[in-house]
Amino acid sequence: MRRSSQTMIHKPPPLTVAKVLETFRRIAKESGKNSKEKKKNHVRALLVAACDCEPKYLIRLLLKDKLRIGLSELSLLEALACAAAYAEKHSVSCGSFQSDLSKAVDVLKGVHSMVPVYERIVPALLDGGVWNLADTCSFSLGIPCEPMLSAPAKSVSEIVNRYHGIEYTCEYKYDGIRAQIHCMDDGSIRIFSRKLECCTNQYPDVILAVKRLKRVPVKSCVLDCEIVGYDSEQMKILPLQKLMTRGRKGVHVDNIKINACIFAFDLLYLNGQSLLQEQLKIRRKLLKDSFEVETGILQFATALDSSNLDEIQVFLDKAVNASCEGLVIKTLSVDAAYEPGKAKWVKLKKDYLESMWDSLDLVPIGAYFGKGRRTAFYGTFLLACYDPDKEEFQTVTKAGTGFSEEVLKEHCQILSSKMIPKPKPYYRHISGKTTPDVWFEPSEVWEVKAGGLTISPVYCAGSDILNSNKGFSLRNPTLIRPREDKSPEQATTSKQIAEMYFRQWQGNPHMPPDDEEINS
């Protein structure tokens, strides 16, 4: 911001909420040539007009990541609930007002997860009050509810013990994009993402598939499913990275290069009726009655209804071999309603199981300054593997999770004593894209786990093994522990990383596609 812009004769009029909102909307709409400059001018105008603490909150709003004053969606809902409860204080008073308050909050939370639209909630609230809200504002066709989630489990035995004596199913956990598909009464289709974004226009092929394979008696319905990349030639699932290369705007069926297969696993609504309260057993039956299956186009998630530890273990291995991430475990009848936004299902991914995850020993060669509660520490470390042939360290990933405060503090201290002004000549990285704030001498070795390996446009590990000028990287890297018994030259080698990458497609022999094949 140039000083000159602030030398004004008259201070602009004070900001109002309405004016700030209007300006934000204008910023959002600005696009095209010089749009960045225009946006900057809007911000400048706001800041010039701001007084007292206003600049602080303007900046926090503009920097997204919330206000950082503890005000979240939940607080808004609580406020709404309290307001409603106060307004109706005299209408219902069976019990303490405090308990009314907390009941009202629960009602609001529940309703919001099923109808996450204030334009629907508030009128219903004003009209019928909090205590009728669950009836006056409920799941409706065309409005996405929050998807039901799953919490991680660490072992098959944990599952078997937790659900001892009750019926449950294990489904393949497909590596794709979560989608909620609404089939409207008029025959039109709407698709929503996990975060409730409308992505209808992104999947014309999915829309055609749903229209074609929906059985005649189905007038309207809502599907919960995973959209997965699919190689129709090889009849194999494609990695998420391939699916993500599809266009996102102005997509036409004829131009689609990566096919998608729908793996359906739940039915939330059918012919005018919400199924959220029904047991999964019922919903699943209705789902299977509602659609035809066509391999590679629309399938039901592969599932096994078993409580046998060994059977489940074998099934998990099968899932991983079929290029899935693992299993999702769901009760069938007890506590088996669809609960939007709640993590009542359980996921069992190979990266949670010590015996199955990919583990690497890597060398921190640089770091980035931390933010928020990590201000004054490093928040992230740049990690490298070793290439003993070239005698160089090659960047492979950043890591910033898995550190307790104590461990983080300790390693920040150790490493800052190893700081060097410039990278060693035997450090290979892509300058700019991954240049850290500070460089270190190679000294420590850290064990890092990953949910899989990827081909990376910015990391260098094993880049001379690939023929596409790309390297390998890690998916969901997490620090496990320092390896005090290892020296940097004993770190995982680029060759080993390449082997890990190709091994993960063992059950899928035609993967990865040709642009990623080994240099020969």
435 binds DNA (CB under 7 A): no
Give the H or E element holding residue 228: strand 221-231
What are the residues whose beta carbons fall under 8 Å from the beta carbon of 176, sequence distance 6 or more? 226, 227, 228, 229, 240, 243, 260, 263
Q: Which of 2, 11, 33, 164 contacts DNA by CB under 7 A?
A: 33
Taking the complex as a whole, how short is the minimal distance between the CB of residue 285 and DNA, in angstroms?
26
Segment near DNA (CB under 7 A); pick from 124-132, 215-223, 310-318, 374-382? 374-382
As a whole number of angstroms, the distance between CA 344 and CA 341 comes to 9
**Between 11 and 249, CB nearer to DNA:** 249
3-class secondary structure, 460:
coil
| 469 is an interface residue for DNA by CB under 7 A | no
Residue 177 sits in the site that holds DNA (CB under 7 A): yes
Separation in Å, CA 60 to CA 12, 25, 44, 50: 21, 16, 15, 13
**Which residue reads 């109002």 in tokens?**
16
Residue closer to DNA by CB (options 275, 399) is: 399
Choose between 13 and 372: whose C-beta lies nearer to DNA.
Answer: 372
Tokens at 130, concatenated: 């909090």
Chosen residue from 374, 418, 424, 486 binding DNA by CB under 7 A? 374
Can residue 73 be called a binding residue for DNA (CB under 7 A)?
yes
Cβ(480)–Cβ(448) below 8 Å: yes
Rule CB under 7 A: say whether 217 interacts with DNA: no
Considering only 289, 405, 410, 515, the residue that binds DNA (CB under 7 A) is 405
User: Which of 267-297 are b and which e, b meaning 16 or more Cβ less than 10 Å from the residue's Cβ?
Assistant: bbbbeeebbbebbbbebbebbeebbeeeebb
Q: Residues 6 or more apart from 236 whose CB is under 8 A from it?
A: 230, 323, 508, 510, 511
Considering the rule CB under 7 A, would residue 245 count as an interface residue with DNA?
A: yes
Euclidean distance between CA atoms 66 and 73, whole angstroms: 10
DSSP string over 380-419: EEEEEEEETTTTEEEEEEEE-SS--HHHHHHHHHHHHTTE
Minimum distance, C-beta of residue 511 to DNA, in the bound complex (Å): 14
Catalytic residue from among 39, 66, 173, 344: 173
Cβ–Cβ under 8 Å, residues 350 and 325? yes
Q: Does 34 bind DNA (CB under 7 A)?
A: yes
Q: Determine, following the binding rule CB under 7 A, whether residue 199 of this chain makes contact with DNA.
A: yes
Per-residue DSSP letter, 198: B
Please state the closest distance from residue 78 (CB atom) to DNA, in A: 9
Distance from chain centroid for Cα 20: 31
Of the two residues 424 and 475, which places its CB atom closer to DNA in the complex? 475
Among 402, 447, 467, 482, binds DNA (CB under 7 A): 402
Least Å distance between CB 463 and DNA? 12
Told to check if 195 binds DNA by CB under 7 A, we report yes
Sign of the alpha-carbon dihedral angle for 443, 444, 445, 448: negative
Nearest distance in Å: CB 401, DNA: 4
Binding status of residue 337 toward DNA by CB under 7 A: no
Q: Does the footprint of DNA cover residue 359 (CB under 7 A)? A: no
Total number of residues shown for the chain: 520
Interacting stretch for DNA, rule CB under 7 A, among 5-13, 327-335, 410-418, 452-460? 452-460
Comparing CB distances to DNA, the nearer of 154 and 285 is 154
Residue 424 and residue 146: Cα distance in Å, rounded? 49
By CB under 7 A, name the one of 219, 458, 495, 507 that touches DNA.
458
Give the range of 82-90, 132-140, 272-280, 369-377 binding DNA by CB under 7 A.
369-377
User: From the list 160, 275, 346, 399, which residue makes contact with DNA (rule: CB under 7 A)?
Assistant: 399
For 22-33, the three-class secondary structure string (H helix, E strand, C coil) is HHHHHHHHCCCC
In the window 473-492, what residues touch DNA (CB under 7 A)?
473-478
String of contacts with DNA for each residue 132-171, x by CB under 7 A: -------------------xx-------------------
Check if the beta carbon of residue 379 is closer than 8 Å to that of residue 373.
no
Reduced to 3 states (helix: H, G, I; strand: E, B; else coil), residue 323 is coil
User: Of residues 110-129, which lie at the interface with DNA (CB under 7 A)?
Assistant: none
Task: Considering only the stretches 69-77, 358-366, 418-426, 503-511, report the one whose residues sit in contact with DNA under the rule CB under 7 A.
Answer: 69-77
Does the active-site annotation cover 173? yes
Closer to DNA by CB, 41 or 136: give it.
Answer: 41
Catalytic residues: 173
